[in-house]
Amino acid sequence: MTQVPGTAGYGANAAALAQQYESLKFADVHRVVLHCFPPPPARVLDIGAGSGRDAAALAALGHRVVAVEPTPELRMEGMRRHAALPIEWVDDHLPALHATRAGGRRHDLILLTAVWMHLDAGEREVAMEAVAALLADGGQVVMSLRHGPVPQGRRMFSVSAEETTRLAERHGLVLSFLGEREDMLGRGDVTWSFLVLLRPGA
């Protein structure tokens, strides 16, 4: 099985990582952007869904959720933990999202939570095109960017909100909100940016 570069270090630690992810509440993680989320039932695509924490919270609110997770161990954790909720799980990965795009569906909300910084510059170009193609008119991408030292064994890059906004604009998306916040795990040398990118339309 081919290793997806940005997932390095995640499969072997899937159970512990899932426990860490699930210890954080969806509403707390996304508190600076929750006011931007559409009301249910919206079509939601959670890319890099991990253990399914966000997908589960949105499904429980009545959204129609597709959860994309390339790491088999994490995907299995998510399917097990949230088996009672109507989440559609997909084995696919950035940057191209071939399997997800093959369905031809568009989404009202696309989540990229703690995902984008795993892509290098060339991959981010391809990924933004793919994400834009999956977004419905009037839809939004909600994305978080991690700033700080790279944990051992992980593949991460320094990505600014400004660079991401410029890249989004080249694919027809505009920044509608930018927020900053501290790290929820208490790491003093880590901060986060939250961007909401809008596709103008009806």
Q: Within a domain: residue 7?
A: no
- Count Cβ atoms below 10 Å from residue 177 Cβ, excluding itself: 15
In a domain? residue 10: no
CATH number of the domain encompassing residue 23: 3.40.50.150
Beta strands in the chain (DSSP E): 43-47, 64-68, 87-90, 107-112, 135-147, 174-182, 191-198
Task: Say how far apart CA 57 and CA 120 lie, in whole Å.
Answer: 30
Closest C-alpha to 90, from 116, 72, 104: 72
pLDDT at 171: 97
Per the structure block, which two tokens stand in for 58?
Answer: 């949105």
Kindly report the backbone phi and psi dihedral angles of residue 76, in degrees, each rounded to the nearest multiple of 5, phi listed first: -65, -40
CB atoms near residue 131 (< 10 Å):
26
- Nearest CA to 195 out of 171, 167, 163, 161 is that of 161
101-112 CB burial, b ≥16 within 10 A, e <16: eeeeeebbbbbb
pTM, to two decimals: 0.90
CA distance 65 to 86: 8
Residue 8 domain-assigned (yes or no): no
| Cα–Cα distance, 136 to 150 (Å, whole number) | 34
How is residue 45 written in tokens? Answer: 């695509």
What's the number of domains the chain is made of?
1
Domain membership of residue 43 as a residue range: 18-198
pLDDT of residue 2: 45
The answer to whether residues 107 and 88 touch, using CB atoms and an 8 Å cutoff, is no
Residue 3 lies in a domain: no
Pairing mode, strands 87-90 and 135-147: unpaired
**Confidence at residue 188, expressed as pLDDT on a 0 to 100 scale:** 83
Residue 65 lies in a domain: yes
**Over its length of 202 residues, how does the chain's per-residue pLDDT go in tens digits?**
344 454 444 555 666 676 677 778 999 999 999 999 999 999 999 999 988 999 999 999 999 999 999 989 889 989 999 999 999 999 999 999 999 999 899 999 999 999 999 999 999 999 999 999 999 999 999 999 999 998 888 889 999 999 999 999 999 999 999 999 998 888 889 999 999 999 998 5
The alpha-helical segments, DSSP class H, found in the chain are 14-22, 26-29, 53-60, 72-81, 98-102, 121-133, 161-169
pLDDT at 14: 60
Does the residue 9 lie in any domain?
A: no
Establish if 11 belongs to a structural domain: no
